[in-house]
Chains A and B, each alone.
Chain A
Amino acid sequence: MSKITVEEVEALAKLARVGLTDEEKRSLAAQMSEILDYARALDEVDVQDIAPTSQVTGLTNVYRQDIIVRSELSREELLANAPESEGGSIKVKAVL
């Protein structure tokens, strides 16, 4: 059994920067346990000497010339979607 506890859910939520209600924590603990249990089906597969696949088309790194390409967009256009901006910059809440 891959039992996920509410405490583990809290620790993961902190890592993922997601606020959760107590109800969400309880249901996530149960659902994640169930899903991870299901994933234990992979335990029976022998993967000794098998290399992991992270991408399928055999691409290697793609490089381009190190030349700055100016954006066609103005500063105003780029800031238009920011929740808050000031003086041509994105404004964030106080860090401390």
Chain B
Amino acid sequence: MKNLHDIHSEFVKDSKSVVAHTQEYLLRMDEVEDTLNALVSVVGKGALSSAQESAERYSNGKSLSLADGSVATIKDVFCTKGVRTTASSKMLEDFVPPYDATVVSKLKAAGVVIAGKNNCDAWAHGASTENSDFGVTANPYDLSRVSGGSSGGSAAAVAAGECDFSIGSDTGGSIRQPASFCGVVGLKPTYGRVSRYGLIAMSSSLDCVGPIARSTADIAAIMEIISGPDERDSTTVEVAVPNYTEELDKPLKGKKIGWAKEFFELGLNEEIKAAITAARDEFVKLGAKFVEISLPNLKYGVPVYYLIQPAEVSSNLGRFDGVKYGYSATESDNLIDNYFRSRSEGFGAEAKRRIMLGTFVLSAGYYDAYYLKAMKVRTLIKQDFEEALSKVDVILSPVSPGTAFKIGEKTEDPLEMYLADVYTAAVNLAGNPAIALPCGFDSNKLPIGMQLIGRYFEEGTIMNFSHQYEQTTKGAGWRKNKVVI
């Protein structure tokens, strides 16, 4: 499939192709959505009128950006003005935001056509989209398997060709793991790189916003549009946005890649280990040098994450009280009773589990033993990454211990599902940027992904490595695998 640069050149030559481009994606949605379920809402009419406006700009030679006329779908946790935004939860089934999230308004200002809202785990809680109140999203490479999560709808839509790219959110791996399960590229930027204004908050010290696309070049182009400080999100940082596209073609000769044995000790599937080892050889051929590093506290990533994150979730979900917006129970005796009923009926099992866990670890008597302790171990994890990245330019690792699992396989045991975050959650705790990209297929013909982790605000460096790998493996046999839908 074409990348954003190709599409843009095509539009410049023939502005009539802009509307046709959107129409093709809307037809593709019609064709696959009954089976795939990657979208909670399709924005057909709005998409076509945006495409029409884009076509007019191209015919006047005044396109707004490289991405003008390209088609995006947005994870349904980002507010879209006038378009229902559900967080894939019954609680927000009828919620129509009166404003756009900053990332959405930036895309619109660049001429991007918004064609749908992606399914995800409700409130972005999960690693499979099975927690969605609107049904699971199937994996485009095997419809009996999950697409990953929580941004499973985003990754599946990109892989199945329902859009050019999607915007997801990543709190413990929610962009990288589904990208890896669906054979596409996903970037979790540095904490504070992309504004979260208008994102339905999950865990405020961890949530990051980033793109999912079919190539690193597209990721770079999108990052140039969506990055940067925002006065409406005080956690965004005043760091200039580089020209990421220019960084892609830098040679890797002499660059250093870190290899930590700890990443390969935590129950990793052998086929994934082999694929990542093969990727390592490709980087060596490109002139990069491998350096042994150590991340001794990596193994504490999941326990720390599952104490800090529910604590923040319990706080962020406190605002859903059945009063201002969202689901409200009908037969309540009084205000307090209405809180209990609305939250009982509106939240699903996973949200309740996290609210309860979070309330527990923040409660008097347990705060020091659980929450404070977790925040201290977080410091050690952060220091591990800082130290390792003072010796190397990037760290190469797996994304997930396995490839896409069967629908229903892990739903009975929440803890087992949480362990899917073992290689990704630690990166959110540390705040570094990381990209997930395809590096092979397993014997079940399922995509395998690898992760490249970089220094704070050095997204350009990890994209450089990612792009160079894509170029050198362009003709690899495994790239011939196709989606089954």
Residue numbers of A with Cβ under 8 A of B are 4, 8-9, 12-13, 15-20, 24, 28, 31-32, 34-36, 38-39, 41-42, 45, 47, 50-57, 59, 62, 64, 73, 77-78, 80-84, 90, 92-96
Contacts and interface: CB of A to CB of B under 8 A. Distances in A.
Given A17-B339, A17-B340, A45-B380, A82 B323 contact: yes
A35 B414 contact: yes
Interface residues of B, number: 71
A90 B234 contact: no
B235 A55 contact: yes
B456 interface: yes
B430 A56 contact: yes
A95 B333 CA distance: 9
Contacts of B359: 12, 15-16
B168 interface: no
Nearest to B385: A56
A18 B347 CA distance: 9
A22 to B, nearest CB: 13
B355 A16 contact: yes
A35 B335 contact: no
B373 interface: yes
A19 B375 contact: no
A62 B237 CA distance: 10
Contact of A42 (B192, B326, B377): B377
Contacts of B234: 59, 62
B192 A53 contact: no
B382 A56 contact: yes
17 contacts: A17-B340, A18-B347, A19-B343, A19-B344, A19-B345, A35-B418, A39-B306, A41-B300, A42-B373, A52-B375, A55-B191, A59-B192, A59-B237, A83-B325, A83-B326, A84-B328, A90-B323
B335 A93 contact: yes
Given A9-B356, A53-B376, A92-B335, 10 more contacts: A24-B349, A32-B360, A39-B370, A41-B300, A42-B300, A45-B377, A45-B380, A81-B95, A83-B325, A93-B337
A8 B338 CA distance: 22
Given A18-B340, A53-B382, A92-B323, A31 B414 contact: yes
Contacts of A38: 302-303, 306, 415
Given A39-B306, A56-B431, A59-B192, A31 B335 contact: no
Contacts of A83: 322-323, 325-328
Q: Give the interface centre of A35, A38, A56 by most chain B CB atoms within 10 Å.
A: A56
A90 B324 contact: yes
Contact of A18 (B327, B336, B356, B380): B356
A13 B356 contact: yes
A53 B378 contact: yes
Contacts of A52: 372, 375-376, 378-379
A91 B364 CA distance: 34
B358 to A, nearest CB: 8
Nearest to B325: A81
A59 B307 CA distance: 23
Contacts of B418: 35
Instruction: Give chain B's interface secondary structure class.
Output: helix
A93 B332 contact: yes
A93 B314 CA distance: 24
Nearest to B355: A16
A38 B349 CA distance: 20
Given A57-B237, A90-B324, A93-B337, A50 B96 contact: no
Contact of A17 (B324, B343, B372): B343
Interface string B443-458: 0000000000000100
Q: Give the interface centre of A9, A57, A80 by most chain B CB atoms within 10 Å.
A: A57
Contacts of B191: 55-57
B306 A18 contact: no
Contacts of B363: 12, 15
B473 interface: no
A12 B340 CA distance: 12
Nearest to B345: A19
B357 to A, nearest CB: 6
B341 A39 contact: no
List 5 A-B pairs, minimum CB-CB distance, nearest first: A56-B431, A19-B344, A52-B375, A83-B328, A81-B325
Nearest to B229: A62
A85 B324 CA distance: 9
A37 to B, nearest CB: 9
A15 B322 CA distance: 17
A54 B418 CA distance: 22
Contacts of A80: 96, 98
B321 interface: yes
Contact of A53 (B99, B323, B379): B379
Nearest to A25: B356
A48 to B, nearest CB: 9
B176 to A, nearest CB: 17
A12 B360 contact: yes
A17 B321 contact: yes
Interface string B292-318: 000001011011101100000010000
Contacts of B357: 32, 35-36
Nearest to A39: B303
Q: Give the interface centre of A42, A59, A95 by most chain B CB atoms within 10 Å.
A: A42
